[in-house]
Structure 1
């Protein structure tokens, strides 16, 4: 919290040099909390896609994972029960299910139009009264297979009606579309060696008070299936006065990142 307040103060000083802005403009433009919220939103989106992928492979294909992303306390059911597509699964975390130091509660509704490895198939993830580490997460993710070259699987990830309500009650609307490519683990029967890269795309995060930022992939975002967090890559942050870069690190599996503006780096955790 002290780091976030320091960042807010530093950027407020920058804002005061723009005398043509109104007080309302400055308050909205210098609010850096959407930057921090964006990193958490990205982490949750990746986590939920991983969960959907695990459900797909555990119930539909021979490819397996040694790591549980749902935890032994989560209950997975198919409703309605069917042997044909589309197939809908519910991952129920109950009133609290902790796995890999991440606590989730509520449900994920995951619908497959076909196998996620088939070109043209979609995996749709919907949140039902769903919380991650005390933050309420709403909205839909559509993960569509757009593979053109068999040895380079590719998907588009589109988030619509995203709402992220943090533990303090602050609300952030979010949406966007990205291209995802699998760069490792294609030929094996394990998910654990899979590595994914977000190569391009843009999303927006808007706080309830109107503070809005646009984030664009600057350097490919690296997500290892074996890690719960994004471990490498950069996003360009743009707003009225905010103009910096989120850096997810050098590949280590941790929840740390930095936001840099005007040569000053401010660390944060997701």
Structure 2
């Protein structure tokens, strides 16, 4: 245990650098912060997509039961008020913050639907307006497009553009990428909380404030249940000048934990 804690301390020494080094020095010169940031970026994207889907179920189809945005202390309004598409909603978490499941969000999400998101070709865009998650500022736009081919397996393409993640220490990470998402459970019911989504493939690129780039690629489908705020299963390959490992989201438990493994050594991640 002592050796593991020492390794973790060494792993976390140097901040935010993607500097070059020998293979033997890689762990000593590597900081876990970019990996934690990448997991937090994934969390932010999943939370915001889930908020959009909740608005769709609650405001467009009146089918949402169970956990709602309104119950979570967010205020949902349509502006402008209209009966035709496109329809734009604002999810306002307030300036003081709205805390649910130990996740505090502040600011607004602007969510625009070109049509019902269950219809092929329709899009949902999520834009952040002075928006924070657990003191991390999150910017950028997510486009969620229905690309269903087989009705029994609804499918969407999730694309992030102009993403900027600024952590509580002021470190800035630009991010962009695209995932393929499938609804694997809950399609036949009118409720939202029993939905389960599988991200089968996709790649994200993250660039830190020093210009260092990190690429994250899905190697084992990511599982996201609507009843849980976090990705609960799946693996992502991490590649950069120094970082060359795997993020493992676990075996299916609903928690904010993951592990990063490099050179056979595991390091815990808390999102």
Q: Tell me the TM-score normalised to structure 1 length.
A: 0.91
Is the Cα–Cα contact under 8 Å of residues 158 and 176 in structure 1 kept in the other structure?
yes
| Cα separation, 1, equivalents of 2:213 and 2:154 | 33
Match of 1:200 in 2: 201
Q: Over aligned residues, Cα RMSD in angstroms? A: 2.4
Match of 2:41 in 1: 41
CA 1:86–1:238: 2 relative to 1, 3 Å: same
Q: Deviations along 1:216-257, whole A, 9 cap, x unmatched?
A: 000000000000000000000011121100000000000000
1:78 equivalenced with 2:78 (yes/no): yes
| Cα separation, 1, equivalents of 2:212 and 2:75 | 38
Equivalent in 5, 11, 17 of residue 22 of structure 2: 17
| Cα separation, 1, equivalents of 2:6 and 2:78 | 45
1:136 equivalenced with 2:148 (yes/no): no
Unpaired runs of 5+ residues, structure 2, are none
Q: Which has the higher mean CA deviation after the structures are superposed, 235-244 or 62-71?
A: 62-71
SS of the residue 2:51 aligns to: helix
Q: Which has the higher mean CA deviation after the structures are superposed, 187-196 or 55-64?
A: 55-64
| Cα separation, 2, equivalents of 1:87 and 1:247 | 37
Is the Cα–Cα contact under 8 Å of residues 15 and 30 in structure 1 kept in the other structure?
no
Q: Deviations along 1:114-171, whole A, 9 cap, x unmatched?
A: 0010000000000000001111000000000000001100000000000001111111
Q: What is the Cα deviation at residue 43 of structure 1?
A: 0.5
Q: What is the Cα deviation at residue 107 of structure 1?
A: 0.4
| Cα separation, 1, equivalents of 2:248 and 2:120 | 32
| Cα separation, 2, equivalents of 1:234 and 1:51 | 24
Is the Cα–Cα contact under 8 Å of residues 15 and 241 in structure 1 kept in the other structure?
yes
Unpaired runs of 5+ residues, structure 1, are 20-25
| Cα separation, 1, equivalents of 2:141 and 2:229 | 20
CA 1:69–1:40: 2 relative to 1, 3 Å: farther
Is the Cα–Cα contact under 8 Å of residues 216 and 237 in structure 1 kept in the other structure?
yes
Is the Cα–Cα contact under 8 Å of residues 34 and 211 in structure 1 kept in the other structure?
no
SS of the residue 1:181 aligns to: strand
Matches within 5 A, 1:169-248: 169-248=170-249
CA 1:268–1:3: 2 relative to 1, 3 Å: farther
| Cα separation, 1, equivalents of 2:266 and 2:197 | 26
| Cα separation, 2, equivalents of 1:236 and 1:69 | 33
Match of 1:262 in 2: 263
1:158 equivalenced with 2:162 (yes/no): no
CA 1:71–1:207: 2 relative to 1, 3 Å: farther
Match of 1:7 in 2: 11
Is the Cα–Cα contact under 8 Å of residues 110 and 124 in structure 1 kept in the other structure?
yes
Q: What is the Cα deviation at residue 69 of structure 1?
A: 4.2
Q: Which has the higher mean CA deviation after the structures are superposed, 223-232 or 209-218?
A: 209-218
Is the Cα–Cα contact under 8 Å of residues 62 and 189 in structure 1 kept in the other structure?
no
| Cα separation, 2, equivalents of 1:167 and 1:2 | 25
